[in-house]
């Protein structure tokens, strides 16, 4: 069972996943975010995904905090592109002694997800205005060119900053946020064709192609429960 709540850290989401004995592992969908994770007494980082991630190994309880898009690199001390499509131990990024101390603190906490949130509140910076403007503009379906103009950046400069902040360029981020927007509409009961049109797709077939590319599933398979729901979008947009 997957549960989430809004974090006290602006734009972040605190979540837990407890496996059901009869449930198959479900893919985690690309969402533009990075997560700090706790599993089996280990702190890990989930880098930005460009495709659905299927958890490996035996079923286990996971806790995490999903950070607002683009904010994790400042916390972790590495550009997002170095963690693209990866799950890595935090000890590979931070001093091992510090990670051991933090791991002991979280292991001793009654609720690991809340302990992760407390850690993020101590060390992470809330998203700044420029970052929120960028993510909100792309989530709302505005073009990369108009978004760059709004931020006073050139196309190349925006691309470099996006690689560092998100792990990929702004066009890929826009596609991922558009997909999340369409899936949110479809899950709320909006017909597939209207979900596609309302999210900026040319038609339902265009949406279906993106679903297949990013998740490896058909739209029907994804929405029937064979894929874990994506996180709530930044500012509730997608």
Q: Whole-model pTM?
A: 0.89
Averaged pLDDT for residues 28-41: 94
Q: Examine the domain organization and report whether 156 and 207 are in the same domain.
A: yes
Averaged pLDDT for residues 112-135: 96
Q: Which residues contact 211 (CB under 8 A, 6 or more apart)?
A: 179, 183, 217, 218, 219, 222
Q: Mind listing the pLDDT tens digit for each residue in 135-179?
A: 999 998 899 999 999 999 999 999 999 999 999 999 999 999 999
Dig out the tokens for 79 from the structure.
Answer: 């550009």
Q: Examine the domain organization and report whether 51 and 135 are in the same domain.
A: no
- Res 59: pLDDT: 72
> In the chain, pLDDT over 70 holds for what percent of residues?
91
Q: Does position 235 have pLDDT exceeding 90, yes or no?
A: no
Determine how many CB atoms are found less than 10 A away from the CB of residue 78. 18
End-of-domain residue from the set 123, 147, 179: 123
- Res 25: pLDDT: 61
Q: Examine the domain organization and report whether 30 and 108 are in the same domain.
A: yes
End-of-domain residue from the set 88, 123, 158: 123
- Res 42: pLDDT: 96
Q: Does position 121 have pLDDT exceeding 90, yes or no?
A: yes
**Enclosing domain of residue 229:** 129-236
Comparison of pLDDT for 22 and 165, the residue scoring more: 165
Q: Examine the domain organization and report whether 119 and 6 are in the same domain.
A: yes
Averaged pLDDT for residues 79-90: 97
CA 75 to chain centre: 15
User: What 3 state SS string does 72-95 have?
Assistant: HHHHHCCCHHHHCCCEEEHHHCCC
Q: Examine the domain organization and report whether 232 and 139 are in the same domain.
A: yes
Q: Does position 23 have pLDDT exceeding 90, yes or no?
A: no
pLDDT band with cut points at 50, 70 and 90 for residue 35: very high
3-state secondary structure of 234: helix
Q: Examine the domain organization and report whether 110 and 134 are in the same domain.
A: no
Q: Examine the domain organization and report whether 119 and 20 are in the same domain.
A: yes
- Res 225: pLDDT: 67
Total number of domains in the chain: 2
- Res 181: pLDDT: 94
pLDDT band with cut points at 50, 70 and 90 for residue 234: very low
Q: Examine the domain organization and report whether 77 and 10 are in the same domain.
A: yes
Q: Mind listing the pLDDT tens digit for each residue in 173-223?
A: 999 999 999 999 999 999 999 999 999 999 999 999 999 999 999 999 888
Q: Examine the domain organization and report whether 101 and 136 are in the same domain.
A: no
Q: Examine the domain organization and report whether 151 and 203 are in the same domain.
A: yes
End-of-domain residue from the set 90, 123, 156: 123
């Amino acid at each position: 069972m997957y549960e989430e709540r809004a974090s006290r850290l602006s734009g972040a989401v605190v979540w837990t996943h407890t496996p059901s004995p009869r449930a198959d592992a479900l893919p985690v969908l690309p969402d533009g975010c990075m997560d700090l994770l706790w599993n089996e007494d280990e702190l890990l980082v989930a880098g930005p995904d460009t495709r659905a991630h299927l958890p490996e190994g035996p079923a286990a309880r996971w806790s995490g905090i999903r950070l607002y898009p683009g904010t994790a690199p400042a916390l972790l001390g590495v550009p997002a592109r170095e963690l693209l499509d990866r799950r890595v131990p935090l000890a590979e990024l931070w001093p091992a002694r510090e990670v051991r101390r933090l791991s002991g603190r979280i292991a001793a906490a009654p609720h690991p997800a809340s302990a992760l949130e407390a850690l993020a509140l101590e060390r992470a910076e809330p998203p700044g205005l420029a970052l929120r403007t960028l993510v909100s503009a792309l989530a709302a379906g505005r073009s990369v060119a108009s978004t760059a103009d709004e931020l006073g950046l050139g196309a190349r400069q925006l691309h470099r900053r996006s690689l560092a902040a998100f792990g990929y360029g702004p066009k890929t981020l826009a596609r991922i946020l558009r997909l999340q927007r369409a899936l949110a509409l479809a899950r709320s009961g909006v017909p597939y064709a209207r979900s596609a049109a309302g999210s900026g797709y040319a038609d339902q077939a265009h949406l279906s192609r993106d679903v297949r590319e990013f998740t490896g599933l058909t739209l029907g398979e994804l929405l029937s429960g064979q894929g874990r729901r994506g996180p709530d979008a930044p500012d509730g947009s997608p």
